[in-house]
Structure 1
Amino acid sequence: MRKLVLIALPLLMLYGCASEPDTAGIGTDPMTQGDNYQDYLKVNNPELGKRLKITDVKSRKTNEFLEVNLQLLSTYDKTQNLQYQFYWYDADGFVIEPGKTPWKAIALHGQQNLTLRAMAPVKNVDKFSLYVREVPKEVYKFED
């Protein structure tokens, strides 16, 4: 009996330390430890990419529409005036309704973690990505 306890105890400890994986940004597939939330982020310049990080992604199907909750973190100390847009993809990786999702403006303050929510425009969406760009600091005036 004592040998059985000595064998079973380490197995129980390993089982107790195991945790359920987080939900990925694609469907409800579990994310493994090596998956990277940054794969969902697309930026218009590398410097901006260094100042942003996706810290969490959750998704679900609601009435067959993909719904997304995404945590965007500023790793920068100052306020960033940004615009973001979700891109939606079908199972084959083709963009669905490109250009139809509007750009939305946000002010992401220093070290702020902000939740962005979106719902796919059609039912056959399987994947998504978040595009972020900086709002120009200067207004350009074109003369005739």
Structure 2
Amino acid sequence: MRLLHMIRSGRRLLIVCALPFAFCLAGCESQPRVNIAEAAEPTARPTAIDDRRVIRDARLSRYVELVNLFESASPAGLKIVEAELYNASANRRAIRYRFQWFGPEGLAIDSGASVWRDRALLSGERARISGIAPNDRANDFQLDIIAAR
């Protein structure tokens, strides 16, 4: 009788311990994959710009790659910058980014537009983030990207 009770208790313990583990595995299965449809021959041709990169977080740069930088102008003549990012890792990556803008004399323009924004990238995802100059005096920019904590 006592042996039977121990066996039943052991089964209950196994179920209680294994159930959360099974749910965890089911939740961590795989990330959703994004299907993409676009024009076979796109007519829009963005203007790529040369950039200089300063890597302070080598781990982040291995996972989230800056592929290209593009620039354009709004109808009001304000500079628009767009960055193409690629998540080269097998996991979802969360980042924070901001565009800082500078005037013709090289000084930062304090406009409130340089705020940190959050963005998550799925595994293998290519995404674009953009910033628009706060005024027509902003002719240079700096894009800061950090890993979200």
Asked if Structure 1 and Structure 2 have the same fold, meaning a TM-score greater than 0.5 normalized by the shorter chain, the answer is: yes
Q: Secondary structure at the match of 1:95?
A: coil
Q: Secondary structure at the match of 2:100?
A: strand
Aligned equivalent of 2:65: 53
CA distance in 2, matches of 1:92, 1:49: 30
Q: Which moved more, 1:85-94 or 1:116-125?
A: 85-94
1:75 aligns with 2:75: no
Aligned equivalent of 2:124: 111
1:94 aligns with 2:107: yes
Q: Secondary structure at the match of 1:57?
A: strand
Give the TM-score of the pair, scaled to structure 1.
Answer: 0.60
Q: Please list, as runs of the form range in 1=range in 2, the aligned pairs for 1:126-141 lying within 5 A after superposition.
A: 126-136=139-149
Give the TM-score of the pair, scaled to structure 2.
Answer: 0.58
User: Per chain length, whose mean CA-contact separation is higher, i.e. which structure has more relative contact order (CA < 8 Å, sep 6+)?
Assistant: 1
More strand by share: 1
| Structure 1 moving runs of 4+ over 3 Å | 41-44
Identity %: 18
More helix by share: 2
1:124 aligns with 2:148: no
Structure 2: 5+ residue stretches without partners: 1-45
CA distance in 2, matches of 1:42, 1:82: 17
Structure (1 or 2) with the larger CA radius of gyration: 2
Cα deviation, 1:53-95, whole Å, max 9, x if unaligned, reads 2222221222221112221111222111111111112233322
Aligned equivalent of 1:6: none
Q: Cα distance 1:44–1:133, how it changes in 2: closer, same or farther (>3 A)?
A: farther
